[in-house]
Amino acid sequence: MNLRTASQVLGVARQLEDDAARFYQSMSQTHATNGELFLGLAKQNKRNIVLIDRAYLSISNDAFETGFCFDIDIDDSALGLEQSGCDGYSQCLKGAIEHEKKAGAFYSIAAEQSKSLLAGVTRTMVQIAGTKEDRLKTLIALVAAGGAQNTQGD
């Protein structure tokens, strides 16, 4: 899919955050040991949606280059993140890591392309990309810690 307009890019961003929020919420229920951590990640995703919407409205103006700013190719299949699609705690985490890497890369490209034309959006994209980096470290550490502890149905 080729993204050209601000509403497309921000629509993808919202979907990334929404999918991730539901995934981590689900993980918090099925993997109680790290339940609080996963809930925290889900909350952060929901906050990101608010940030994205606010950034869009702050630059959304009859004059700015919302329609001509972007040229991003993304793989449609990279957008989804569902717990039902993975087998086992470790696999779910690895799936999440891949998703977060792709999301981080998406935000970085979007930030670069919108720089100086849609500065409010750029700032938000950079901020969210930063949280993905922190998140990757957390997820990688969880994988390294290994195994499911007191999980259900794993």
Binding site for other proteins (CB under 8 A): 3-8, 11, 56-57, 60-69, 116-117
In DSSP notation, 66-128 reads TTTS--EE--GGGS---GGGS-SHHHHHHHHHHHHHHHHHHHHHHHHHHTTTSHHHHHHHHHH
The nearest distance, CB 95 to other proteins, in angstroms, is 26
Nearer to other proteins, 63 or 144 (CB): 63
The nearest distance, CB 118 to other proteins, in angstroms, is 10
The nearest distance, CB 49 to other proteins, in angstroms, is 15
The nearest distance, CB 116 to other proteins, in angstroms, is 6
Nearer to other proteins, 62 or 75 (CB): 62
Nearer to other proteins, 84 or 116 (CB): 116
Nearer to other proteins, 101 or 115 (CB): 115
**Contact between residue 96 and residue 132 where contact means Cβ atoms under 8 Å apart:** no
Nearer to other proteins, 97 or 126 (CB): 126
The nearest distance, CB 19 to other proteins, in angstroms, is 17
Residue where the block lists tokens 């980096």: 133
Long-range pairs of 98-101 with CB within 8 A, sequence gap ≥ 24: 99/16, 99/19, 99/20, 99/23, 100/20, 100/132, 100/135, 100/136, 100/139, 101/132, 101/136
